[in-house]
């Protein structure tokens, strides 16, 4: 038997990386980041949360102006946290408050190569 993500049902839960890249108008960035931080604080207190960082492109010409990278103890912890109704309603509101469309591109990833400085 396997889980939704294709792992054996009895496989140990392993840490996952959640990455969400945002297509957003440059003039909407500051307001979006402020609201994002409020939503991220909700996640910080959830079981399994490890850390989260929002990255901002240095160039306003970049397709993805914002990149969020978060780490969770397991995919199950991430799924439980993001199912929170308060978080979901705030996420919807953030997209609806925008004058121009904000396109999130979320997914959960596993590390396949890791390099560190010698």
CA dist 26 → 53, 54, 65, 68, 104 (Å): 19, 15, 7, 16, 15
SS3 68: strand
Give the C-alpha separation, 90 to 29, whole Å.
Answer: 17
Going across the sheet that includes 103-109, the strands are: 49-56, 66-72, 16-23, 103-109
Q: Where are the domains of the chain?
A: 25-106
Q: Cα 42–91–98 angle (5° rounding)?
A: 130
What is 25-106's CATH number?
3.30.70.100
User: What is the pLDDT confidence band of residue 7, given thresholds at 50, 70 and 90?
Assistant: very low
DSSP label at 56?
A: E
Kindly tell me the number of DSSP H helices and DSSP E strands found in the chain.
Answer: 3, 4
- Only one residue has tokens 């993805």, namely 64
- pLDDT attached to residue 92: 80
Residue with the larger pLDDT of the pair 118 and 86: 118
Helices marked H in the chain — which ranges? 29-44, 75-82, 85-97
Residue with the larger pLDDT of the pair 4 and 111: 111
- pLDDT attached to residue 8: 46
């Amino acid at each position: 038997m396997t889980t939704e993500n294709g792992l054996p049902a009895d496989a140990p839960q392993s840490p996952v990386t959640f990455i969400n890249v945002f297509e957003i108008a440059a003039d909407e960035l500051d307001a979006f980041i402020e609201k994002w931080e409020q939503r991220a604080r909700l996640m910080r207190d959830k079981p399994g949360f490890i850390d989260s960082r929002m990255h901002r492109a240095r160039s306003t010409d970049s397709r993805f102006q914002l990149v969020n990278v978060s780490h969770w103890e397991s995919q199950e912890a991430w799924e439980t946290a993001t199912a929170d109704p308060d978080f979901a309603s705030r996420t919807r509101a953030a997209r609806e408050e925008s004058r121009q469309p904000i396109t999130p591109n979320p997914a959960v990833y596993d590390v396949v190569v890791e390099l560190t400085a010698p």
